[in-house]
Amino acid sequence: MELIALALGLIVVAMLVLQVPVLVYGTLQRSRAAQVQRRLDYKEWKLRLQAAEAQLEKAASNQLSWSGWRKFEVRKKIVENKAGDICSFYFYPHDRKKLPAFNPGQFLMFRVDIPDPDNPGESFEETRCYSLSDSPNPRYYRISVRRVPGPRDQPDIPPGLVSGYLHEHINEGDLIDVQAPSGEFFLDPDQETPVALLAGGVGVTPILSMCNTLIDRKSSREVWIYFGVRNPDDLVMLQNFEYAAGHLKNAKVFICFSGEMPDGIEDGTVADSGIIYKRGRVDCAMLKATMPGNNYAYYICGPEVMMKTLDKDLQAWGVSKDKINWEAFGESAAPAPASIPAGQALSINYGASGKSVDWKGEKSIRAAAKANRFKEKKIKYACGQGKCGCCHTALKSGEVAYLDVQPAFPGLQEGYCLPCIATPKTSIELDA
Ligand SMILES: Cc1cc2nc3c(=O)[nH]c(=O)nc-3n(C[C@H](O)[C@H](O)[C@H](O)COP(=O)(O)OP(=O)(O)OC[C@H]3O[C@@H](n4cnc5c(N)ncnc54)[C@H](O)[C@@H]3O)c2cc1C
Ligand code: FES
């Protein structure tokens, strides 16, 4: 009997002893789970706090914005490439007040008075858009401008008016009129979505702004950066890309040469900075050969042919259209010439200036004026894409059509048109 009691006692003790590790294990597990939960709660709270701080910063920054023109002083002007045709300008507000933040990828509109060679002592006003090429900061804005040459096959046509004027005549200490940052092509730095930033030539400007913003934020976002140039003379801001390769935790940076490569560098060379050098264009074949897949949001800025090809090929690769974002630098990306209705001779009368031309299927009413070498003092122009409203002109008679590019300018009024993207549907008379 005693033995049975002893055995039972031992069994109970053994069971109790066996339960101890189970209890300890359970308690540890619960405490670990509570710890994980606390960490998650803290992370969520931190994210909410950061989002709230970002909202507050945005609201405060929006208050710093301005409407119309504001004077800025050029404090620094730097030639950026060996070819000498890309120059950066650093603009500080003349009123010395703080600047509003902007979204990386946005642009500024500039107004300059250009001396009129035909009327000495007189000048005419021109407006153009230039992308911000650095990350937001409250002190200055930076743009980087390529001096646009005349068409190679038409030596009698003058080179780009405003880019040439900025390169030759705007220097440190000069004042210039600037509108507040705007534009719909931008990267949201608060998101974590993996991105591919693709730049060609001077189209690198908005991409640099995106890249530098991610660096400033110490982003750990997955980023694939491709910068395409023809040869080493065209390369700009290499140090910036080297810095990105070294400081963005989760980024791969490629510099691609469609022509000659720098001395001592071959296709596939990985520099000490982490930059990967490639031979070839920034196209879908390059992306397929280097990226692990296609599931990215794409931001593209470069020559028209690069963007159109990438847009088409990325979609063919299975990337949905809403993930492909691109910015065109002006008229060249406007629709292809429309066909002229058979048997119809449409004329464009530029009203006040008394000029009239037959429309020959040019890309737009403004392109027709340009082809006819009108000075277009009255048809102002900046974006060339129906976005900014700069060319908003009254239509005295006739009808216009918008073909591939639809007006995005919200202020387009009844009885007006946007000559940078409109084509005549009937003969028209403009108040220009
Ligand atoms: C949103 C946006 C952002 C931009 N960002 C940048 C940027 O960051 N950096 C940058 O460098 N550019 C940028 N641009 C382009 C810039 O706005 C200008 O379009 C560019 O500098 C050319 O302007 P321009 O006055 O020098 O040339 P224009 O005088 O407008 O001439 C353009 C071209 O037309 C040719 N031309 C002139 N007259 C005729 C004619 N009668 N017939 C045929 N051809 C003719 C010229 O030779 C020249 O090749 C951007 C554009 C947009 C819309
Ligand atoms: S120039 Fe910008 S809308 Fe026409």
130 with 32, same domain? no
| Ligand nearest to the Cα of 108, by number | 1
Q: What is the pLDDT of residue 375?
A: 61
Please report the DSSP string for 277-327 in residue order.
EEES-SSHHHHHHHSS-S-SEEEEES-HHHHHHHHHHHHHTT--GGGEEEE
- Pairing assessment for the beta strands 107-115 and 141-146 based on DSSP bridges: unpaired
Residue 190 domain-assigned?
Answer: no
Q: Residue 232 Cα, ligand 2 centroid: separation in angstroms?
A: 34
What count of other Cβ atoms lies within 10 Å of the Cβ of residue 186?
A: 23
| Ligand nearest to the Cα of 393, by number | 2
- Percent of the chain at pLDDT > 70 equals 94
Residue 283 domain-assigned?
Answer: yes
Angle at 366 between CA 364 and CA 369, to 5 degrees: 115
Residue 188 domain-assigned?
Answer: no
**390 close to ligand 2 (CB < 6 Angstrom):** yes
Could you tell me if 216 and 244 are in contact, meaning their C-beta atoms sit under 8 angstroms apart? no
**365 close to ligand 2 (CB < 6 Angstrom):** no
Q: Residue 128's closest CA among 150, 103, 145, 104?
A: 145
**146 close to ligand 1 (CB < 6 Angstrom):** yes
216 with 320, same domain? yes
**143 close to ligand 2 (CB < 6 Angstrom):** no
Query: What pLDDT digit, counting tens, does each position of 170-205 carry?
Result: 999 999 999 999 999 999 999 999 999 999 999 999
Q: Residue 330 Cα, ligand 2 centroid: separation in angstroms?
A: 9
Query: What pLDDT digit, counting tens, does each position of 262-320 carry?
Result: 999 999 999 999 999 999 999 999 999 999 999 999 999 999 899 999 999 999 999 99
pLDDT band at 361 (very low <50, low <70, confident <90, very high): confident
Q: Residue 130 Cα, ligand 1 centroid: separation in angstroms?
A: 10
56 with 90, same domain? no
Q: What is the pLDDT of residue 215?
A: 97
| pLDDT, average across residues 158-180 | 96
**185 close to ligand 1 (CB < 6 Angstrom):** no
Q: What is the CATH number of the domain that holds 223?
A: 3.40.50.80
The ligand 2 atom nearest the CA atom of 387: 3
Residue 342 domain-assigned?
Answer: no
The ligand 2 atom nearest the CA atom of 407: 3
Q: Residue 127 Cα, ligand 2 centroid: separation in angstroms?
A: 10
Residue 398 bridge partners (DSSP): none
143 with 205, same domain? no
309 with 237, same domain? yes
The ligand 2 atom nearest the CA atom of 418: 4
257 with 281, same domain? yes
130 with 245, same domain? no
What's the total number of domains in the chain?
4
56 with 83, same domain? no
Residue 334 domain-assigned?
Answer: no
**130 close to ligand 1 (CB < 6 Angstrom):** yes
> Of 329, 356, 390, at which residue does a domain stop?
329
pTM: 0.85
pLDDT band at 404 (very low <50, low <70, confident <90, very high): confident
Please report the DSSP string for 89-148 in residue order.
EEEEETT-PPPPP--TT-EEEEEEEEE-TTSTT-EEEEEEEEEB-S---SS-EEEEEEPP
> Of 17, 42, 63, at which residue does a domain stop?
63
The ligand 1 atom nearest the CA atom of 163: 26
325 with 204, same domain? yes
**Max avg pLDDT among 7-11, 30-34, 128-132:** 128-132
324 with 232, same domain? yes
Residue 114 bridge partners (DSSP): 124
| pLDDT, average across residues 32-51 | 79
Least confident of 138-152, 175-189, 359-373: 359-373
**198 close to ligand 1 (CB < 6 Angstrom):** no
Residue 337 domain-assigned?
Answer: no
1 with 85, same domain? no
Calculate Rg over the CA atoms of the chain. 29
**383 close to ligand 2 (CB < 6 Angstrom):** yes
DSSP H or E segment with residue 43: helix 2-63
203 with 321, same domain? yes
Q: What is the mean pLDDT of the chain?
A: 89
> Of 15, 35, 63, at which residue does a domain stop?
63
pLDDT band at 64 (very low <50, low <70, confident <90, very high): confident
| pLDDT, average across residues 417-423 | 93
Range of the structural domain that residue 30 is part of: 1-63
The ligand 1 atom nearest the CA atom of 143: 8
**405 close to ligand 2 (CB < 6 Angstrom):** no
Evaluated on CA atoms 123, 129, 134, 140, the torsion sign reads positive
Least confident of 19-33, 71-85, 123-137, 188-202: 19-33
Q: What is the pLDDT of residue 346?
A: 84
Residue 339 domain-assigned?
Answer: no
Residue 205 domain-assigned?
Answer: yes
Q: What is the CATH number of the domain that holds 86?
A: 2.40.30.10
Distance of CA 392 to CAs 47, 329, 414, 419, Å? Answer: 44, 19, 11, 7
Which of 379 and 173 is assigned the larger pLDDT? Answer: 173
